[in-house]
Amino acid sequence: MRQKISVRALIKSDEKVLLVRRSGGTPQYVGQYELPGGKVEYGEDPEASVRREVNEELGIEAGPLQLYKVVSWIDTVQRDTQHIIVVYLVGLAATSTKISLSSEHDKFIWDKLSNIQLNELNLLTRVVLDDELKELVTDEVGDSSERGVDNISTNGNAREVIVYSDGGSRGNPGPSASGFVVYSANGELLFEGGKYLGITTNNQAEYQAVRLGLEKALELQARVVSFRVDSQLVANQLTGVYRVKNRDLWPIHESIKELIKQFRKVTFTHVKREFNKEADAMVNKILDQQEA
């Protein structure tokens, strides 16, 4: 087991956070936003590290520092690596007026986290900001213990939903179908459905199930959607951990990303197949009906 120690700068102004978009380095992070920061050099004090990183990556001087949190995370790609991330609240020096990015990043933004789609943040940043992102959902759906009351509006539409989705192909490629089940945040069944797709592959059917689930969530006027999928490939590609290498999946992947922009927040969690039985049953029901 290896350990990597790094620092991150949480720079805030008027409830907005400074994020930078990576242009190089770890392939799965390219094109995604992150907090400024980097590796702590051997023998270097973490405070000195975060000041150095802010200067190198942003071209500005860090002002007052305050330790914000320390996060431990086991890398999901390199599983023999433990990351220790020291996060500082960083104020900017009065003389720092213009940001000049290093070659590691090609864009910066000042924005509220509530305006940022989850898949625009790299995985490490989502881990670091996990508490802040959870608070956004709490703020949106209410803090009551009776969450179902807050999550379902008077006309029956859900503000926060959980979608179990699945897809299957008998032959791969072969006759295929997608199925999904939508629950409110307090476990009330809101909708179940699916679609016969014709001849296609398992992966395409899994993706189509996500698209159908998102479209139904839009109909229900959901703002926050939590997906449960048993395809690790789909979960990791839609969260940006894996790149989409199969060109046949590009169009549906891009259409899903466009749909995601219409929500406050969309998350994808990989679950074992035994925890996705209802969506799987919907797939088989549709395929059985087609063969009858």
Q: How confident is the model at residue 136 (pLDDT cuts 50, 70, 90)?
A: low
CATH fold for domain 147-291 = Nucleotidyltransferase; domain 5 (3.30.420)
Q: Measure the CA–CA gap between 49 and 36, rounded to whole angstroms.
A: 11
What is the distance between the alpha carbons of residues 163 and 211, in angstroms, rounded to a whole number? 11
What are the pLDDT digits (tens) for 77-93?
A: 566 788 899 999 998 87
Contacts (Cβ under 8 Å, ≥6 apart) of 205: 167, 168, 169, 176, 177, 178, 197, 283
pLDDT at 98: 85
Residue 282: band (very low, low, confident or very high) from pLDDT cuts 50, 70, 90: very high
Query: Per-residue pLDDT for 156 more than 60?
Result: no
The verdict on domain 2-137 having CATH code 3.90.79.10 is yes
Q: Look up the pTM and report it.
A: 0.51
pLDDT interval class at 145 (50, 70, 90): very low
At residue 11, does pLDDT exceed 70?
A: yes
204-208, 212-216, 219-223: lowest mean pLDDT where?
219-223
Whether the per-residue pLDDT at 138 is higher than 60: the answer is no
What CA–CA distances, in Å, run from 121 to 12, 169, 238?
A: 17, 32, 12
Kindly tell me if the per-residue pLDDT of 241 is higher than 80: no
Task: Map out the domains of the chain as residue ranges.
Answer: 2-137, 147-291
Please tell me the distance from the alpha carbon of residue 279 to that of residue 292, in angstroms, as a whole number: 20
